[in-house]
Amino acid sequence: MEKSPFHHHYHHHHLHHAQRLLLRYPLPKFVLLSLLLVVALFFFFHFSPLSSPAPSGDRRSLRSAAWGGSLWEKRVRSSARVKAGRRGASVLVTGAAGFVGSHVAAALKRRGDGVLGLDNFNDYYEPSLKRARQALLERAGVFVVEGDINDGALLRKLFDVVPFTHVLHLAAQAGVRYAMRNPSSYVHSNVAGLVSVLEAAKSASPHPAVVWASSSSVYGLNTKVPFSESDRTDRPASLYAATKKAGEEIAHVYNHIYGLSITGLRFFTVYGPWGRPDMAYFFFTRDILRGKAISIFEGPNHATVARDFTYIDDIVSGCLGALDTAEKSTGTGGKKRGPAQLRVFNLGNTSPVPVSDLVAILEKLLKKKADRKVVKMPRNGDVQFTHANISLAQRELGYHPTTDLQTGLKRFVKWYLDYYSSGGKKSSYSL
Ligand SMILES: NC(=O)c1ccc[n+]([C@@H]2O[C@H](COP(=O)([O-])OP(=O)(O)OC[C@H]3O[C@@H](n4cnc5c(N)ncnc54)[C@H](O)[C@@H]3O)[C@@H](O)[C@H]2O)c1
Ligand SMILES: *[C@@H]1O[C@H](CO)[C@@H](O)[C@H](O)[C@H]1NC(C)=O
């Protein structure tokens, strides 16, 4: 075999063994090169960031290939079945292993509605927490299908098997600061994923009504308080907020073209048992217990940072109110028959609390002083305060939040201590 410079430099160390074999069984050089190319392509597609966390479009990943089959369809159908003798809804809940999704799915099932969950169990935060929520849902009779909302074939299959009356779309890449580290995950789940869900909804016959989670972050740099639905939302302060704002515009399109009934809910800082470990109330609790310093943000000129914290049970009742008042979509199988409902609501608590007060409440509940470090709020997406005007949701959804921060945090801390005292394995605490 002749030795080209390429051969010499590149193969010398790495392919010593292969080279020897090839010398013994000489092959044309292009065969060797093609083999190398195949190996390189294999590694590229399996380990490149392009192929994770999930493939886009209709390409089914090896993991989601687990769905299908008559046994699987039976589980799907039985989970989505309305309790005998009821006139309830049959709801596809995306993000069902998530914080809000698991609570709403459980509440729907309790009152007799049919519920099917969908979640990709990504590792943005500890997947074991999502698995523990899933275990509780399974016990309650809710099947959570493991798959990505971008998997169009899976969504079509689900709509084939079940004529869902409603979609409660909560799956998303959440978190404001993480968007600077992994921007594409926001585009994948919050933009492409939303389109994928709406495509599936508009292709189904009949069209389901869609209720989905937007965010208070769409108010961005607004300073007028409280935030009302009619206020401008064109100055997002984070990529997360921008993808939620994009979602609201995309909702308008699907409502306009296909007559899909769509309701967007702007949640304000939701907290409670089974909550999200990436949120301040959650990791403050963890860090206070561990004696680790916590950073409390302050605005320019020592201005306090405040949040309109909303307890999970109140959010659940808001979601149920939105589902119950959602009118039917007017179209079917991709055809519009007339104008359909398009709504957006704030779901907040109307009482912003300074983050320093949040810490004081946690200290009292945990019976432990926090090691506070006051730091300037970095300009990476967080806004200084949020405050919801909820009069529209009050009027239209019968939404009346009843839990103050003190009461809600007490329940959260109780859950936290119970859950983590067993190493995060116990799921005796219900949803
Ligand atoms: N918790 C809050 O304070 C808050 C505030 C405003 C808006 N929201 C919105 O409410 C919704 C629910 O939030 P949460 O706090 O329960 O978050 P969460 O992260 O606990 O739940 C979202 C779930 O969606 C799943 N998911 C993400 N991308 C997916 C994909 N591509 N395919 C399938 N599943 C996917 C995740 O695995 C997760 O279980 C989200 O849309 C979020 O943006 C939440
Ligand atoms: C709250 O919103 C309603 C519209 O839903 C509006 O009429 C009212 O003026 C707002 N209140 C405040 C204090 O901004």
Query: What is the per-residue pLDDT for 87?
Result: 85
* Residue 393 within any structural domain of the chain: yes
Q: Count the domains in the chain.
A: 2
Query: What is the per-residue pLDDT for 32?
Result: 58
The conformational region for residue 403 under phi > 0 = left, psi -120 to 50 = alpha, else beta, is beta
Residues of the chain with pLDDT under 50: 1-25, 45, 47-62
Q: Based on the domain organization, do 35 and 166 belong to the same domain?
A: no
* Residue 160 within any structural domain of the chain: yes
CA–CA gap between residue 66 and residue 330 (Å, rounded):
34
* Residue 104 within any structural domain of the chain: yes
Q: Hey, what are 330's tokens?
A: 């007017």
* Residue 244 within any structural domain of the chain: yes
CA–CA gap between residue 165 and residue 337 (Å, rounded):
17
Q: Based on the domain organization, do 238 and 322 belong to the same domain?
A: yes
Residue 332 Cα distances to 203, 249, 259, 276, 329, angstroms:
7, 21, 9, 37, 8
Q: Based on the domain organization, do 213 and 239 belong to the same domain?
A: yes
Q: Which atom of ligand 2 is nearest to the CA of 226?
A: 14
* Residue 11 within any structural domain of the chain: no
Give the closest ligand to the alpha carbon of residue 397. Answer: 2
Q: Based on the domain organization, do 152 and 47 belong to the same domain?
A: no
Q: Does 121 sit in the ligand 1 pocket, CB within 6 Å?
A: yes
Query: What is the per-residue pLDDT for 4?
Result: 38
pTM: 0.87
Query: What is the per-residue pLDDT for 301?
Result: 87
**What is the domain-level CATH number for residue 345?**
3.40.50.720
Q: Based on the domain organization, do 86 and 134 belong to the same domain?
A: yes
Query: What is the per-residue pLDDT for 252?
Result: 98
Query: What is the per-residue pLDDT for 199?
Result: 98
Q: Based on the domain organization, do 109 and 209 belong to the same domain?
A: yes
What is the percent of the chain where pLDDT is above 70? 84
Query: What is the per-residue pLDDT for 354?
Result: 96
Q: Which atom of ligand 1 is nearest to the CA of 188?
A: 31
* Residue 5 within any structural domain of the chain: no
Select which of 240, 281, 311, 416 is catalytic: 240
Q: Based on the domain organization, do 106 and 80 belong to the same domain?
A: yes
Q: Based on the domain organization, do 31 and 76 belong to the same domain?
A: no
* Residue 427 within any structural domain of the chain: no
Q: Verify whether residue 240 is a known catalytic residue.
A: yes
Q: Which residues contact 96 (CB under 8 A, 6 or more apart)?
A: 102, 105, 115, 117, 118, 119, 134, 137, 142, 144, 170
* Residue 415 within any structural domain of the chain: no
Q: Based on the domain organization, do 35 and 104 belong to the same domain?
A: no
Q: Based on the domain organization, do 116 and 47 belong to the same domain?
A: no
Q: Which atom of ligand 1 is nearest to the CA of 53?
A: 31
Q: Based on the domain organization, do 71 and 41 belong to the same domain?
A: no
- Ligand 1 pocket: which of 64, 170, 178, 212 to mutate (most atoms within 8 A of CB): 170
Q: Based on the domain organization, do 147 and 204 belong to the same domain?
A: yes
Give the closest ligand to the alpha carbon of residue 182. Answer: 1
Q: Does 267 sit in the ligand 1 pocket, CB within 6 Å?
A: yes
Range of the domain at 319: 64-268+311-349+384-402
